[in-house]
Amino acid sequence: MAKVCQVTGKKAVVGNNVSHSKRRTKRKFYPNLFVKKYYLPEEERWITLKVSASGIRTINKKGLSAVLKEAKEKGHIVNY
């Protein structure tokens, strides 16, 4: 699986390492991802998602089924 959050769609972005002498070299900033299991009561089964820290907070706030529905509409998740 790629380093992409299945809830928010966050992925790596490119930036620069800047040394003391101000030389710039390319680097990547990766999202803070976790592999987490959630229980989906509507389907009575466990699902495994790769979610960022902000994605976990979103699930806690809105609820799992609502977040999965939004992620499917936006195309961040195909099947779970």
Tens-place pLDDT, residues 1-29: 589 999 999 999 999 999 999 999 999 99
Task: Over range 26-34, report the average pLDDT.
Answer: 97
For the chain, give every domain's residue range: 13-74
Phi, psi dihedral angles at 35 (to 5 degrees): -95, 120
pLDDT at site 1: 58
pLDDT at site 78: 87
Percent share of the chain, pLDDT over 70: 99
Task: Give the whole-angstrom CA distance, residue 75 versus residue 30.
Answer: 20
Kindly state the DSSP code that residue 50 receives in the 8-state scheme: E
Q: Give the three-state DSSP class for 71.
A: helix
Quote the pTM value. Answer: 0.87
Q: Which CATH superfamily is domain 13-74 in?
A: Ribosomal protein L28/L24 (2.30.170.40)
